[in-house]
Structures are given as structure tokens and as C-alpha cells.
Amino acid sequence: MDIDALFKSFKEKKIAVVGDIMLDKYIFGHVSRVSPEYPVPVVEVSHETLRLGGAANVAVNIRAMGTATVLFGVTGQDDNAEALKNLMHEHGLSSEHLFHDPQRQTTCKTRILSQSHHITRVDYESRKAVSEQAENFMEEHLGEVVADLDAIILQDYNKGVLTPALISRVIALASSRNVPVFVDPKLESFFNYSGCTVFKPNLTETASSLGIALNNTDSDIEHACMKLKEKLRCEHLVVTRSEKGLTIYNSRFTHIPAASLDVADVSGAGDTVIGILALGFAAGLDIETCAQVANIAAGTVCQEVGAVPVNPAKLLKACREHFQA
């Protein structure tokens, strides 16, 4: 495989991401004492950062590879929405396909860390289903660009954007244009994605969806995959297995071990996997090779603290070493 030609081809693709977008706020500091008021640590803040999270992080990962990326989602009409839009523009993402609902708050997750260790997290969010007006807005805007798309990613965090109605309409629209659909699910809407191209749950989600206890062994995973694929009628099933890597099931099973890199933080690794899976598939790779590249990409982002987009140069170097070894 010509790795350099593959990475160049990424710049010729266009991918849409539809789902729950978030603003991630990180507060970094140092803990040296316990509060005299309550037995909780006192964090002396050194600095703060804002990052794009959820479906927006998936879009950032794809955009980082030079790929044209279109993001669809819902925000409130608040300060966090403005901060999110500003960050999107910094990353070369348009905010024209965002629906702004004054009745909702923009999802924001604030993480407080001390010496790279998470102390606590504070969430501002709404989990109720978005309005029919928001559904119609996203479907209409997606319909305007679908003819130019090479893939669509549905990124679900159970925050209410991917309603059963919207899921069905997006998959039908994509199918009518032969555009592959990639799904990163959450449990609440798990079986609403029937007919998608690639379905990527993690180990816990797979076990919970089937109502079984699941050990992280190849035989257990294979048994679960057969049951799950029968219910979903997807083309490819990709189960991420944490330190065990991932398993692909289509007409056969393929087990891919985790990338052997130092892990600082797994935040956002799943976003990277689904983004690079879709991008590789759009570039013409088979699903097994896509998964290898995505697995390597996840390994590179896990070396950083917090959700960060994939670094193209670092990924290119890692892929050269892997495929040319």
C-alpha cells in the first residue's frame, strides 16, 4: 500500500458528521491541600482550554487530515454556543449547518485536572429529543450536500439529536445516493441504525445491548458479534475492545491488537476511530485496512491529555512504520 498516496487522497474527499456536538472545557491546576470547609481537594488553577467535543471532535479529526468536513448538530443560543462556533471556525469548519434552539443549552463538559489526573467533571446538557423543526433543518441541509459526500457519520451520545426519525431519514437519504453510513452508537438508540454500512460499538455497549455478561476474549466477542449483526443488518460490525484492540465482523472475523503506544488519556479515542474508519473507507480501503489505520490513529491521540485531533504527520509516520515493517 502506498501510504503517501493514501494520505494525499484524503484531501479529495468530503465527509458529513451528524450528531451531538459539545464544548469541552479543561481546567488544569495543582492540588496541594484539602478544603477546610468540606473534605474535598482544592485545585489551584494554572490555565484553562476550550476544545471541540462529541461529534465536533469527530469532525475536527477528519478536518485535520485535510478532508472537506460538514458538521450538523444542535446548540442553544448561549455563550457556549458562541465559543463553540468560534472554535469551529478556527478549525476550518462552517457553522452554517447548526440549528440554534433557544429552549436548549449547549452541551458543555468541564473537566478539572491536577497533574494530568481528572478530579471531577461538570456537565451542562439537555438529553431530551430535539424538536421536529431541528430534525427538518438537519435533513434539509444534509439533502443539499449529500450528492457531494463520500461518507456520513452518525455520532450518538444520547443527547437527543439523533432521534429515531432523523436516523431513519438520514440512512434512507444516504442509501438513495449510495453514500456509506458509519455509526458510533450509544445504548438508547442502539437498534435504530439498521441498514447502516459500518456500526462501531464498544465492548460495554455491545454487552449491554444484548443483555449479557461479556468477557473480553475473542470467542466471547465473536459470539456477541454474530447476535448483534443479525439484529442490525449492517454491512460491517467493528467492536472496539480497549486494550485488546478491535474486532471486525462481516463475512469473517478479524482481530486487530491495540497499537503499542504509551497511553496518557483515552478521551476522544473513539471519535478518532470512527472518523478515520470513514475516511479510509471513502478513500477505497477495505474495512480491515481502514481499521488498522484507525487503530493506529487512536493510539497516537491517546498519548495526549484530553480529547485532541489526530496529528497527520505523526499518523503518517506511524502508518509507514506499521505497513512497511
Distances (CA, A) of 59 to 114, 171, 210, 256: 28, 19, 30, 24
C-alpha cell at 74: 444542535
Inter-residue contact 17 to 155 (CB < 8 Å): yes
- 490555565: which residue's cell? 47
- Tell me if 188 sits within 8 A of 158, measured CB to CB: yes
Give me 290's grid cell.
481502514
Question: Interior CA angle at 210 toward 223 and 161, to 5°?
Answer: 125
Euclidean distance between CA atoms 228 and 249, whole angstroms: 10
Beta strands per DSSP E along the chain: 14-19, 21-34, 41-54, 68-75, 98-100, 108-114, 117-124, 151-155, 181-184, 198-199, 236-240, 246-249, 253-256
| Count of all residues that appear for the chain in the document | 325
271 is catalytic: yes
Catalytic residue among 101, 150, 271, 286: 271
Give the helix/strand (H/E) hosting 294: helix 287-301
The DSSP call for residue 11 is G
Q: Please provide the DSSP assignment of 132-145 as one string.
A: HHHHHHHHHHHHHH
User: Which distant-in-sequence residues (6+ apart) come within 8 Å of 99 by Cβ?
Assistant: 73, 74, 75, 130, 133, 134, 137, 138
Is residue 273 exposed (0-12), middle (13-18) or buried (19+ Cβ within 10 Å)? buried
Amino acid identity at 121: R
Question: Catalytic residue positions?
Answer: 271
